[in-house]
Structure 1
Amino acid sequence: MSARLDPEMEIVHLLRSVALELGLHSARFASRNGMHPTDVRALIALMDARRAGEETTAGRLGAALGLNSAGTTALVDRLERAGHVRRVRGEGDRRKVVIEVDESAVELGWSFFGPLIDRSVELLRGYDERELAAIRGFLTGVRDAADEDGQ
Structure 2
Amino acid sequence: MSDPGPETELEIVHLLRALTVELGAHSARFAQRNGMHPTDVRALITLMDAARAGEALTAGHLGTALGLNSAGTTALVDRLERAGHVRRARDERDRRRVTVEVDERAVALGWSHFGPLIARAVELLSGYDARERAAIKGFLTGMREAAGADGGEPHHNGPR
* Structure 1 equivalent of residue 29 of structure 2: 28
Measure the CA separation in 2 of the matches of 1:90 and 1:53. 13
* Sequence identity (%): 76
1:73-112 alignment runs, 5 A limit: 73-112=74-113
* Structure 1 equivalent of residue 7 of structure 2: 6
Structure 1 residue runs of 4 or more that deviate by more than 3 Å after TM superposition: none
TM-score by length of 2: 0.90
Change (3 A) 1:85 1:71: same
Using CA pairs under 8 Å that are at least 6 residues apart, name the structure with larger relative contact order, 1 or 2: 1
* Structure 1 equivalent of residue 67 of structure 2: 66
Cα distance, 1:150 vs. partner? 7.3
1:118-129 alignment runs, 5 A limit: 118-129=119-130
Measure the CA separation in 2 of the matches of 1:111 and 1:149. 32
* Structure 1 equivalent of residue 38 of structure 2: 37
What's the Cα RMSD here? 1.4
Which amino acid in the other structure matches residue 96 of structure 1? Answer: R
Cα deviation digits, residues 3-47 of structure 1 (max 9, x gap):
xx7111000000000000000000000000000000000000000
Which amino acid in the other structure matches residue 40 of structure 1? Answer: V
Cα distance, 1:149 vs. partner? 1.4
Change (3 A) 1:150 1:76: farther
Measure the CA separation in 2 of the matches of 1:102 and 1:129. 34
Cα deviation digits, residues 44-90 of structure 1 (max 9, x gap):
00000010110100000000000000000000000000000000001
Which amino acid in the other structure matches residue 108 of structure 1? Answer: L
* Structure 2 equivalent of residue 47 of structure 1: 48
1:131-146 alignment runs, 5 A limit: 131-146=132-147
Which amino acid in the other structure matches residue 117 of structure 2? Answer: L
Flag structure 1 segments of 5+ consecutive residues without an equivalent: none
TM-score by length of 1: 0.95
Q: Between Structure 1 and Structure 2, how many residues are aligned?
A: 148
Which amino acid in the other structure matches residue 143 of structure 1? Answer: R
Q: SS at the partner of 1:117?
A: helix
Change (3 A) 1:108 1:21: same
Which amino acid in the other structure matches residue 113 of structure 1? Answer: F
